[in-house]
Amino acid sequence: MHDFDSRLLPTERESHGICIRKYQPSDAAGLVEAAQESIQTVGAWLDWCTPSYGNAQAEAWIAHAVENWDKGDGFAFAVIDATCGDYLGGVGLNQIDHANRSANLGYWIRQSYQARGVGAQAARLAVGYVFEQLGLTRIEIACAAANRPSRRIAEKTGARYEGLVSGRIQLHGRPVDAAIYSITAPSARRSTG
């Protein structure tokens, strides 16, 4: 159990033109548009991103994300262009283990904004949120070993590659190997001397 009221935590962070914030019901249309544009890229790595993804799925996801936030069970953020307000993707923390002060970090960026540094910036903002607001000390990123774009974001975020885990992720109905990365809070890093 956590020792904070997640409803009282800050709900957004912004830096370098990118804002991450708690999902709002009004994000549904942008989420659907981003998913439909990204079926070939995001859909290759995330099963939910399919041609049938529509308003009902987006509204259900947002309601789930808000409920998890309010309970402190997960912190999903919409990634927004801070200048024009466009929906760019999502970044989130799940599998929160308060006893071991760790969480999993996931992210995706719509196709038209990929390879522009948006994913790395959004991930860095989420990492800062974890360490500063939640008091966790370890973040793990697990992505399909063949997912080079996701692995590059992990590396640009400062995550340390820990190795491959056989069959760790289910992707399109089959197990695939996962590349595991970690980021530890500065206060939790081991001394090498």
Q: Phi and psi for 109 in degrees, rounded to 5?
A: -130, 135
Fold observed for domain 6-137: Aminopeptidase (3.40.630)
Could you tell me what percent of the chain has a pLDDT over 70?
91
| Rounded-to-integer distance, Cα 181 and Cα 159, Å | 6
Does the model's pTM come out above 0.85? yes
Q: Parallel, antiparallel, or unpaired for β 102-109 and 138-144?
A: parallel
pLDDT in tens, 137-155: 899 999 999 999 999 999 9
The one-character DSSP state at 145 is T
pLDDT at 191: 44
Q: Taking the mean position of all CA atoms in its chain, how far away is CA 1?
A: 22
* Banded model confidence at residue 16, pLDDT cuts 50, 70, 90: confident
Q: Which of 33, 11, 12, 17 is nearest to 120 (CA)?
A: 17
Residue 193 has pLDDT above 90, yes or no: no
Lowest mean pLDDT among 53-57, 140-144, 187-191: 187-191
pLDDT at 86: 93
Residue 192 has pLDDT above 50, yes or no: no
* Banded model confidence at residue 70, pLDDT cuts 50, 70, 90: confident
Sort 58 into a burial class: Cβ within 10 Å, 0-12 / 13-18 / 19+: buried
Q: Taking the mean position of all CA atoms in its chain, how far away is CA 117?
A: 15
Sort 148 into a burial class: Cβ within 10 Å, 0-12 / 13-18 / 19+: exposed
Residue 183 has pLDDT above 70, yes or no: yes
For residue 146 the two structure tokens come to 């063949």
pLDDT at 48: 92
- 59 near 28, Cβ under 8 Å? yes
Ranges of each domain in the chain: 6-137
